Structure 1
């Protein structure tokens, strides 16, 4: 899926979610803390939202990050790396690749994430009870959770309740940090 198709899909899903709730763009803007003009552009597929913007919208609607990307799932699905379009932040220094979006019947979503050397990304708090599971696939990750900093190297994993802001940081000046991230949503 290319960026244009991705923008169209996100916009279409966002508009459907808003209309199902009977909300105006003004109401959605108040819940998400994203401007009405920006939301309108996203709904029309004219703007590809950043990771931060999409998280704000997801939190405001009380849906998963990948709710905007869900498709009907066959009994077996292969995801080819070349077919996954990243959602980017910080001019491509923080990239999220939605591998398996959350579905109604599954309480999780799975991503790969890439941080360029020196990149830091501050993630907003998820709703109560949401957990993150991370495994570093390449490089090293410095993760700040609840005021504590954790250093993870290739092959290391961490699990935490993600209902507070948390920061991902690649402190390397040379090597990308790549990780697998599972977000679990309790019932």
Structure 2
């Protein structure tokens, strides 16, 4: 099978899976995307060479990027063994950040952070409109956001705007650990704020 045939097969499998997951018929998805149903049927059968415009419309209607439509279909389940979890080090190795999401999803991050005694790390502002939730797992982590400082102990949860400048410091005794979850939040569309 040629590379083009692989991409066409991936496209067909991904469209069907995403459409079914969204509980849309071919007719409803075609209408939502603004493309003829026959075009969608042709793409789902793995035939033809769809235009970039139609791929963009379909990706937008399904709420995914074009790359997700064209890439190898992902299994609904994946197991990442602990020795396969990517780890980034900061502050001369005193901070370890375990990247816990095997799938790349724009605006979403889940990281387990480990801080040696006294270690600190500057946080990088995330996408506009995101919120970060920091869960204390062990020890104490002080988070600085917009000039305010918050001490997060084991079991505490701090929610703060992820798109703001922020930083973390182990201010407890011994090592500390925390779980960081970054999520994009929808902007209010009216009504009370």
Q: Does 1:127 align with 2:127?
A: yes
Question: Residue 176 of structure 1 corresponds to which residue in structure 2?
Answer: 175
- CA–CA distance in 1 between the matches of 2:73 and 2:95? 28
- Relative to the length of structure 2, the TM-score reads 0.53
- CA–CA distance in 1 between the matches of 2:98 and 2:111? 5
Pairwise mapping of residues 5-16 of structure 1 onto structure 2 (< 5 A)?
none
- CA–CA distance in 1 between the matches of 2:145 and 2:137? 20
Pairwise mapping of residues 4-83 of structure 1 onto structure 2 (< 5 A)?
73-83=74-84
CA shift in 2, pair 1:183/1:72, >3 Å: farther
Displacement over 6 Å in runs of 4+ = none
- CA–CA distance in 2 between the matches of 1:175 and 1:85? 24
For the 8 Å contact 2:107–2:130, the answer to whether it is kept is no
Unaligned runs of 5+ in 2: 1-71, 187-193
Deviation at 1:97, TM superposition (A): 0.7
CA shift in 2, pair 1:158/1:101, >3 Å: farther
Which structure would you say has the larger Rg?
Answer: 2
Question: Residue 185 of structure 1 corresponds to which residue in structure 2?
Answer: 184
Unaligned runs of 5+ in 1: 1-70
Question: Residue 104 of structure 2 corresponds to which residue in structure 1?
Answer: 103
- Relative to the length of structure 1, the TM-score reads 0.55
- CA–CA distance in 1 between the matches of 2:108 and 2:73? 16
Root-mean-square deviation (Å): 2.2
Q: Does 1:88 align with 2:89?
A: yes
- CA–CA distance in 2 between the matches of 1:75 and 1:144? 37
Deviation at 1:76, TM superposition (A): 1.3
